Amino acid sequence: MPDVTQTTSQEELMISLQDLRLTYANAAGGVEVLRGIDLSVAAGETLSIVGPSGSGKSSMLMIVAGLEQASGGAVRIAGRDFGGLSEDALAEFRRDNIGIVFQNFHLIPTMTALENVAVPLEFAGRDDAFGRAEEVLTQVGLGHRTDHYPGQLSGGEQQRVALARAFAVRPKLLLADEPTGNLDGETGGKVIDLLFDLQRDADTTLLLITHDPALAERCARQIKLVDGHIVDDSAAVNGRTEATAAAT
């Protein structure tokens, strides 16, 4: 497999995975989930990951988010080596650099839309947490629903709040795990449009997991994961120039 990083220095890469391995221990022995992944993603690049259930997509995303510890290999995100970082150091890194959007939204039910969006800003100790939160909520078209609780919002609205929350800290990297999985086609389409708009405005690197080939196509680069291996990388076929261009 050709190495797209040849033309990009380590510092300019947003994601650098080398020989990434993940094994879960269980009673029956070990289950190898990721079996030596090598992946480089340049800053500002959009990348979709497809693959059947159990292929290791979510596991890879979790490792990139610092939510799961790799069993082997090297992980470098936004120039920071994850090796040896404590759980709390990873949490702080995530707070400052990474936004995550889930299939199930995962808004905090006891907080209003505004408070949900403000939380990561509050974690970062930002004095303008609520001002910025309101600004982003207006940006996603929910400026009039800031005081509503998640239970009072539709699925699409909830996912827009989740997007606002993910973009509020202006993350360098956005991770999205099946962001339209729980939405109907039309609502999902609007949410995705919004996601790409926000990504483009902030020049955020995007890592998107999806089962939907059309959605995957909207990313500049697609990879396919099967059984813990990358079996297909569009950059190897037609994305090389684009990826390299994006990185430079």
Partner 1 sequence: MRGSLMLAARLARRELRGGLKGFRIFLGCIALGVAAIAAVGSISSSMLSGLEKNGRVLLGGEVELRLIHRAATAEELAWMEEHSSEISTTAEMRAMARSSANPDDRRLVEMKAVDDAYPLYGSFGIEPEIGITEALAKDGGLWGAVADESLLSNLGMEIGDELQVGDVRYRIRGTVGYEPDRATRIFTLGPRLLVSRASLAESGLEQPGSLIYYHYRMTLPEGVGYDAWKAELEADHPRAGWRLRDLDTAAPGIERFVERVSLFMTLVGLTALLVGGVGVANAVRSYLDSKTATIATLKCLGAPGRLVFQVYLLQVLALSLLGIAAGLVLGGITPSLAGPLLSQQLNFTITGGLHLQPLALAALFGVLTTLAFGLWPLARAQGLPAATLFRDLVAPARSRPPNWALVAIAAAGGALIATAVLGTSDSLFALGFVGGAIAALLAFRLAALGVTDLARRLPRPRHPGLRLAVANLHRPGNPTGSVVMSLGLGVTVLVAIALIQGNLNRQVVEEMPRDAPGFYFIDIQPEQIEAFDALVLETEGVSKLDRVPMLRGRIVAVNGVSPGDMEIPSEIGWVFRGDRGLTWAETPPDNGEIVEGAWWPADYGGPPLVSLDAEVGELLDLHPGDRLTINILGRDVEVEIANLREIEWGDLQINFVMIFSPGLLEAAPQTHIATVQIAPDKETLLERRVTDAFPNISAIRVKEALESFAQVLRSISVAVTATAGVTVISGVLVLAGAIAAGHHRRIYDSVVLKVLGATRARIGAAFLMEYGLIGAITAIIATIIGCIAGYIVVTEVMESDFAFMAGPVLVTALGATAITLAFGFLGTWRALAQKAAPLLRNE
Backbone angles phi, psi at 157, to 5 degrees: -65, -40
Position among 31, 108, 231, 237 found at the interface with partner 1 (CB under 8 A): 108
**One character per residue 128-157, x = contact with partner 1 (rule: CB under 8 A):** ------------------------------
Task: Output 125 or 214, the one with its CB closest to partner 1.
Answer: 125
Position among 64, 100, 113, 215 found at the interface with partner 1 (CB under 8 A): 100
Q: Is 17 helix (H, G, I), strand (E, B) or coil?
A: strand
**One character per residue 168-197, x = contact with partner 1 (rule: CB under 8 A):** ---------x--------------------
Residues in the chain: 248
CA distances from 212 to 14, 54, 180, 208, 219 (A): 24, 16, 9, 11, 12
84 binding partner 1? (CB under 8 A): no
Which residue carries 């089962």 as its tokens? Answer: 211
42 bridge partner residues? 13
Q: In whole angstroms, give the CA distance from residue 60 to residue 78.
A: 16
Structure tokens at 236: 């190897």
Structure tokens at 198: 């926000």
Position among 165, 172, 221, 224 found at the interface with partner 1 (CB under 8 A): 165
Minimum CB distance to partner 1, residue 166 (Å): 9
DSSP state of 209: E
Evaluate the CA torsion angle 194, 195, 196, 201 in order and state its sign.
positive
94 binding partner 1? (CB under 8 A): yes
Task: Output 44 or 56, the one with its CB closest to partner 1.
Answer: 56
122 binding partner 1? (CB under 8 A): yes
Position among 111, 202, 226, 236 found at the interface with partner 1 (CB under 8 A): 111
> 86: Cβ–Cβ under 8 A, 6 or more apart, which residues?
none
Binding residues vs partner 1 (CB under 8 A): 58, 61-62, 65, 67-68, 87-88, 91-96, 100, 102, 104, 106-111, 115, 119-120, 122-125, 165, 177
